[in-house]
Amino acid sequence: MRMSRLLVLGLAFATLGMGSAPAVADDPGYAKLRALIDGPQRSERNRVRDPYRHPLETLTFFGLRDNMRVVEIWPGANGYWLEILAPYLKENGTYYAAGPEKTTKSEELQHDISGLAAKITNDPRDYGKVVVTEFAGDKYEIAPPGTADMVLTFRNLHNWVKNGEADAALRAFHKALKPGGILGIEGHRGSNAQPQDPQAKSGYLREDFAIALVEKAGFKLVEKSEVNANPKDTKDYPEGVWTLPPTYRLKDQDRAKYAAIGESDRFTLKFVKVAP
């Protein structure tokens, strides 16, 4: 078993160093991705988030290629990443939008489901090939088992930690990915000076906590990026991370102060599937 794990990890590193290597400036895939980030299919509501979310650098770091099968977890009603990923993958790859469970009782998640459906319907040229699946822990298959090259999730891990569903979520990602497939995770980074709240009520997760959680599920961390770091984020707000933009949970109270801080400090982590 140990030899098998080492073999898979070796193949994963070989893949990261060759066919799935991040696109570079003189690569056609890089130019295609950059053009889509600047493309007319994107909403202004999403574009204004780019200075905080660094879509080109983040997706390049994860090693995105246009011939991959990529699963995004919970794209949301606004589809920030969908607007880039779906048209990028539509010709040579496959984009799976793993949305919330259709029978969810959550009004917020039902809003996400209806918003995603409307977005796809209203732009069949860019989104007509999107494959919509359901995600609720490990209750559903988010893609055919062992077929995905990449699973991506942005600012969601704290939700599953809070609800006690993180292990089940990671099992679903592991099941969907090929051996050596990439799991890309971005999350609100908590302070190392504070113990990790097991319910992550503030929305923040310590980076070491997140890495240990994911590696326990059969993944191996291969690289970190500071592209989404924000040293202005003091992580000590009355309404947790949702005090900051774009949520502004305190509404107009100290809004200029929080706008000046910007979106949260975030870890950006790349893992590979190593366990069978």
Averaged pLDDT for residues 29-46: 96
Comparison of pLDDT for 192 and 8, the residue scoring more: 192
d(CA 78, CA 264): 19
Phi, psi values for residue 257, rounded to 5°: -60, -45
d(CA 231, CA 210): 19
C-alpha angle 189-191-192 in degrees, rounded to nearest 5: 115
Question: Which tens digits make up the pLDDT trace of 111-141?
Answer: 999 999 999 999 999 999 999 999 999 999 9
Q: Residue 6: pLDDT band by 50, 70, 90 thresholds?
A: very low
In this predicted structure, the answer to whether residue 182 has a pLDDT above a threshold of 50 is yes
Domain 2-273 part of CATH 3.40.50.150: yes
- Chain length of the chain: 276
Q: Would you list the domain boundaries of the chain?
A: 2-273
**How big is the chain by its Cα radius of gyration, in Å?**
18
**pTM for this entry:** 0.91
CA distances from 22 to 26, 59, 64, 240 (A): 12, 8, 6, 34
Query: Which pLDDT score is estimated for 25?
Result: 55
